[in-house]
Structure 1
Amino acid sequence: MNEKSYKRILIIGCSGAGKSTLSVELANRLQLPALHLDALFWNEGWVPTSKPEFREKLQSELEKPAWIIDGNFNSTIEMRAQYADLIVFLDFPNWLCLMRVFKRRWMYRGKTRPDMAEGCPEKVDWEFVKFIWTYPKKKRPGVFQMLERSDAEVLILKSPREVENWLAALSKGDMD
């Protein structure tokens, strides 16, 4: 499939897998707008948007003709998948994701990272670590169930090397 035929790309995976990094890279390459769900959901001071308001804001974004959306938020994964023509699942080991989250915490200590809502300085707490560590057993099975039901093309990448190889193929115009 030609890369230009992808207009709505959903990037999912465990926290720390590199969803936001990949979405920015793809947005630059494909000239599509990127939306980070964390930036849509969180407000200054880590105040969450109410679920109804978040779903309404997300629905408005999903109806746009082209986008790359990255993020977890399992409560809206089916909603997002309905609109996507490509779903990229970064299915990385939890130890790698955890290591990357700690690295990110160090890099952005006291600062807000670019893919986060303003006023939400980088943090790591026990609940977040637990979420990442248990992701393969608690969240991953549900992701696979959703992927099986989806009409979108699905790409499962299991390592940073597979991401690099896919991006290299994309650059050559060979997405398969």
Structure 2
Amino acid sequence: MLVAGTSGAGKTTLARRVAEVLQIPHIELDALHHGPAWKPRETFAVDVEAFSAEPRWVTEWQYGLVRDLLAERADLLIWLDLPRRTVMRQVVCRTLRRRLRREVLWNGNTEPPLRTIFTDREHVVRWAWSGHHRSALRVAAVRERWPELAIVRLDSRAAIERWCGGPLRATGR
């Protein structure tokens, strides 16, 4: 199972929630991708190949290197198609919290200094802003290439809660 959406949409949060309800493994792609000093891990694609060969899992749908493999092996894609204002509020708050608390993320990494929002074109806040429209394009391409892949589009926090409280709960029983 995949959870799609732009950076900051809540993919990891929802994937964890799905994993808990369905009692299936959640594999966090950022943890597999980011090595020390934010360098991509050499074993990333091999690690994704291994876990996605298993019958049950949930992960975030990101990273072009493995996106097709994951779509091919998934049985459901949950698309967080939240408004840009919602995503930006979430990603800015998360980034500020992580930086101010010096939260250690994957493999010892921490959020860079806040000033890098203005200097780094790939800063997560800028990435979320500029890439917001890409999720819709990717989901449209998946519909065309894998028409058998079920897609659930959730366009608000309320829609996420309704889905989690209804169809997800029903599946998890």
Q: Could you state the TM-score of these two structures normalised by the residue count of structure 1? A: 0.82
Distance 2:45 2:168 in 1: 34
Distance 1:172 1:41 in 2: 30
Runs of 4+ more than 4 Å apart: none
Residue of structure 2 equivalent to 1:121: 110
Deviations 1:73-96 (A, max 9, x none): 133211101110111011112222
- Aligned-residue offset at 1:171: 5.7
Residue of structure 2 equivalent to 1:37: 29
Residue of structure 2 equivalent to 1:85: 75
Residue of structure 1 equivalent to 2:53: 63
Residue among 137, 143, 147 paired with 1:147: 143
Matched residue of 2:132: which SS? helix
Q: Which moved more, 1:163-172 or 1:37-46?
A: 163-172
| 1:164 has 2:154 as partner | no
Cα RMSD between the aligned structures?
Answer: 2.1
Q: Which runs of 5+ in 2 are unaligned?
A: none
Q: How many residues align?
A: 162
Distance 1:152 1:171 in 2: 17
Residue of structure 2 equivalent to 1:75: 65
Q: Which moved more, 1:81-90 or 1:71-80?
A: 71-80
Distance 1:140 1:19 in 2: 15
CA separation of 1:172 and 1:34: change in aligned 2, threshold 3 A: closer
Residue of structure 1 equivalent to 2:85: 95
Contact 1:15/1:72, CA 8 A, preserved across alignment: no
Quick one: which amino acid aligns to residue 142 of structure 2?
Answer: M
Identity of aligned residues (%): 27
Distance 1:74 1:140 in 2: 15
Distance 2:37 2:149 in 1: 36
Deviations 1:137-164 (A, max 9, x none): 4453133212332222111111111100
Distance 1:59 1:11 in 2: 17
Greater strand percent: which structure? Answer: 1
Q: Could you state the TM-score of these two structures normalised by the residue count of structure 2? A: 0.83
Residue of structure 1 equivalent to 2:19: 27
Matched residue of 1:45: which SS? helix
Distance 1:24 1:138 in 2: 23
Contact 2:61/2:70, CA 8 A, preserved across alignment: no
Greater helix percent: which structure? Answer: 2
